[in-house]
C-alpha cells in the first residue's frame, strides 16, 4: 500500500492550559512524528485558564494514536482526542476576494447565494465574500469561484464542538 493510501486527514481537539509555550510543545509532538499540521485554531474556553485547540493534520492512523498518547502525557494538556470519525459540529470560515468586474457581478452573486456566502466588500473590480460551513462546502465554493479569478483566500481552519451534553476534549 502506498503512503498516500495510508495517510488521512485527522481532526484533533485538545483542552489545554492557557500558558506561554503550550502551542510550541504540541507542535513539536506532531513534527517529531512527521505529521504535517494543515490547520490550527486556538480559542479561549469558558475558563480563562484554559483554551481549546483544534488541529487538522495529515498522516497515518497508527502514528496518530501515538501522537494522541504523547499529547495526553504533556503537563499542560488536560485532554486530546481525535474527532475524525465522531458526530460533532464542525465549521470553518473563509474570505474570498474575487476578480469581479461589473459585467460578471450578477453571476458571482448567484453562486454566492447558492452557498449562503455574504458580500463583505465591493469595489469596481473586486468582490469579497464570507462563507461559513463544513470544509467541503468551502472547497466547493473555491472550485466554483476559481473561474473568475480568486485574488486572495483566507481560511480559519476547523472549529468543532461536541453535540448534546458531551463536553468537547474534556475527561
Asked whether the beta carbons of 92 and 136 are under 8 A apart, the reply is: no
Q: Is the entire prediction scored with pTM above 0.85?
A: no
In tens, the pLDDT along 103-131 reads 999 999 999 999 999 999 999 999 999 99
CATH topology match: 3-86 vs 89-159: yes
Residues in the chain: 171
Q: Is 151 exposed, middle or buried (0-12, 13-18, 19+ CB in 10 A)?
A: middle
Look at the alpha carbons of 99, 104, 105, 111 in this order and tell me if their dihedral is positive or negative.
negative
Query: What is the percent of the chain with per-residue pLDDT over 70, rounded to a whole number?
Result: 94
Q: What fold, for 3-86?
A: Alpha-Beta Plaits (3.30.70)
Domain 89-159 class?
Answer: alpha beta
**DSSP code of 77?**
E
Look at the alpha carbons of 111, 92, 66, 21 in this order and tell me if their dihedral is positive or negative.
positive
Q: What are the residue boundaries of the structural domains of the chain, listed by start?
A: 3-86, 89-159
Amino acid at each position: 500500500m502506498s503512503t498516500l493510501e495510508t495517510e488521512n486527514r485527522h481532526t484533533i481537539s485538545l483542552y489545554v492550559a492557557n500558558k506561554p509555550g503550550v502551542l510550541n510543545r504540541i507542535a513539536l509532538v506532531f513534527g517529531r512524528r512527521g505529521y504535517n499540521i494543515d490547520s490550527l485554531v486556538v480559542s479561549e474556553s469558558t475558563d480563562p485558564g484554559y483554551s481549546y485547540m483544534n488541529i487538522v493534520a495529515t498522516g497515518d492512523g497508527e502514528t496518530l494514536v501515538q501522537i494522541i498518547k504523547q499529547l495526553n502525557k504533556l503537563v499542560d494538556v488536560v485532554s486530546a482526542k481525535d474527532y475524525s470519525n465522531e458526530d460533532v459540529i464542525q465549521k470553518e470560515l473563509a474570505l474570498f476576494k474575487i476578480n469581479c468586474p461589473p459585467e460578471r457581478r450578477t453571476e458571482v452573486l448567484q453562486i454566492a447565494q447558492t452557498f449562503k456566502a455574504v458580500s463583505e466588500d465591493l469595489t469596481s473590480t473586486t468582490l469579497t465574500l464570507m462563507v461559513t460551513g463544513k470544509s467541503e462546502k468551502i472547497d466547493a465554493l473555491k472550485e466554483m469561484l476559481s473561474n473568475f479569478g480568486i485574488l486572495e483566500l483566507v481560511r480559519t481552519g476547523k472549529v468543532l464542538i461536541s453535540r448534546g451534553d458531551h463536553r468537547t476534549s474534556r475527561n
